[in-house]
Structure 1
Amino acid sequence: MNDSDSPGQNAVEALLQGARSFREREYGEPGALMPNLSSGQQPGVMMIACADSRVDPALIFGARPGDLLVVRVVANLAPPPDTDSLDSGVMSAVELGLKTLGIPHLIVCGHSGCAGVRTALDEALHDVVPEDYCLHEWTTVAVPACEEVIAAHGELSADKLARHAEQRSILKSLENLRAHPWVQDLETNGKLTLHGWWFDIATGDLWIADPETGDFVSV
């Protein structure tokens, strides 16, 4: 079988063509953006977003290169500081953004139909543990949020319960971030604002958590 006939090859070729088009578009004109970014970055916002292929933060929020520092992980989770090395990947990015670059806003952005949160919800509801070790270890971070949702809304359908769990896990990730003393210090001293957002894939609506109540409101 030729390489051109291999599964997914058309998708790879599309990416290569995309890179060529990007170079022509963003480097070809005088004063183009990308060459000016080659000396460094100073984004105004950091985002912890999901790895899901349907929720590209730059595309959804109309951001240009250099606008957003994004770390994408399954279920957009930020673990608490007592999880050994589990949080090192996410928190190394958070340290880069908040300490090194001095970014004043950090958004935890979740979404509807999140498979990672659903995995944690299944474990909390039915003690169903995924076979993949790394996925299980990671999504256990969302289990406490799922357990809180089950206790408060256990009578709801699975889909409605999942939505509550997705939003509650965002709030729990914000709590976990604040459990790092240096993050809490930045927030207390007015150098950092934390935000919780939830994106509905089906409708395109964005829901933002009220900082006082934790309730999500469509904007």
Structure 2
Amino acid sequence: MNSESPELDTLIAGYRRFRERGWKLERDRWAELKEGQEPRVMVIACSDSRVDPSQIFDVNPGEIFVVRNVAALVPPFETSPGHHGVSAALEFAVQFLKVREVLVMGHGLCGGCQAALTRNLHGNEPGEGGFVADWIGMLDEARDAVAHEHGTEGRTAERAMEMAGVKVSLANLRTFPCVQSKEGKGELTLRGAYFAISDGVLHLLDEASGEFNPA
């Protein structure tokens, strides 16, 4: 391809494989999607390159509506000025696409959760870690509880922080009036999940016990 960019060459090579193995084989499916999308599930996941929801759940195009960000976080409902990307995606999925389930998926070895636990980005300027620090500040209260019980170093503490992050996002989801209404009427189900990169096992949250169990 000689683009002088090995990164772009890799992407274009992947695109060409997709055209041959994916798009052609699923041409009828893609034709249907021209009429619109009707996913039943919204997945909120981390931007980490190792945890692609479409790959983990082995779904076809159009089956899940995905939002990814640092640490798979959902901010609480608020109407202050600003650009509310996650809130806009949630509103679109719940109110317009009318998804039946919203699944928040945290994961092992999450850099965002590790930064929240160690607070190693606190005090950095925007563009130098400050944006990330502000974002993961949503985990501060949960972080204090984790640090009190497990400390701030080691996989036990990190794993506890990663799982606590899922619970924070679920709690924040329930601050949205549209979520409250639809969950109350049985039209929407919220779920928490955790994907362990080390062994590839997906765990589902039992909200009654607060425990994550292998799927």
TM-score for the superposition, normalised by structure 1: 0.88
| Deviations 1:184-214, CA, capped at 9 Å, x for gaps | 1111110100000000001011111102122
What is the aligned partner in structure 1 of residue 54 from structure 2?
Answer: 58
Q: In the superposition, relative to structure 1, how do residues 85 and 53 fare at CA in structure 2: closer, same or farther (>3 Å)?
A: farther
- Matched letter for residue 168 of structure 1: A
C-alpha displacement of 1:26: 3.8
1:190 to 186, 191, 209: 186
CA distance in 2, matches of 1:128, 1:30: 47
| Deviations 1:82-108, CA, capped at 9 Å, x for gaps | 484577100111111111000010000
Unaligned runs of 5+ in 1: none
What is the aligned partner in structure 2 of residue 118 from structure 1?
Answer: 114
Aligned length: 211
Are residues 1:160 and 2:156 paired? yes
Are residues 1:44 and 2:49 paired? no
C-alpha displacement of 1:20: 2.1
Report matched runs for 1:57-206 at 5 Å. Answer: 57-82=53-78, 84=80, 88-123=84-119, 128-130=122-124, 131-154=128-151, 157-206=153-202
| Deviations 1:26-46, CA, capped at 9 Å, x for gaps | 443585321221110001110
Q: In the superposition, relative to structure 1, how do residues 201 and 27 fare at CA in structure 2: closer, same or farther (>3 Å)?
A: closer
Q: In the superposition, relative to structure 1, how do residues 128 and 36 fare at CA in structure 2: closer, same or farther (>3 Å)?
A: same
3-state SS of 1:109 partner: strand
Q: In the superposition, relative to structure 1, how do residues 22 and 3 fare at CA in structure 2: closer, same or farther (>3 Å)?
A: closer
C-alpha displacement of 1:152: 3.1
Q: Does the 8 Å CA contact 2:104/2:191 hold for their aligned counterparts?
A: yes
C-alpha displacement of 1:23: 2.2
Give the % identical residues.
36
| Deviations 1:54-103, CA, capped at 9 Å, x for gaps | 11110111011011100000000001124845771001111111110000
CA distance in 2, matches of 1:118, 1:30: 40
Q: Does the 8 Å CA contact 2:72/2:105 hold for their aligned counterparts?
A: yes
Q: Does the 8 Å CA contact 2:94/2:178 hold for their aligned counterparts?
A: no
Q: In the superposition, relative to structure 1, how do residues 209 and 87 fare at CA in structure 2: closer, same or farther (>3 Å)?
A: farther
TM-score for the superposition, normalised by structure 2: 0.90
C-alpha displacement of 1:151: 2.5
- The RMSD of aligned alpha carbons is 2.1
Q: Does the 8 Å CA contact 1:26/1:34 hold for their aligned counterparts?
A: no
Unaligned runs of 5+ in 2: none
Q: In the superposition, relative to structure 1, how do residues 41 and 79 fare at CA in structure 2: closer, same or farther (>3 Å)?
A: same
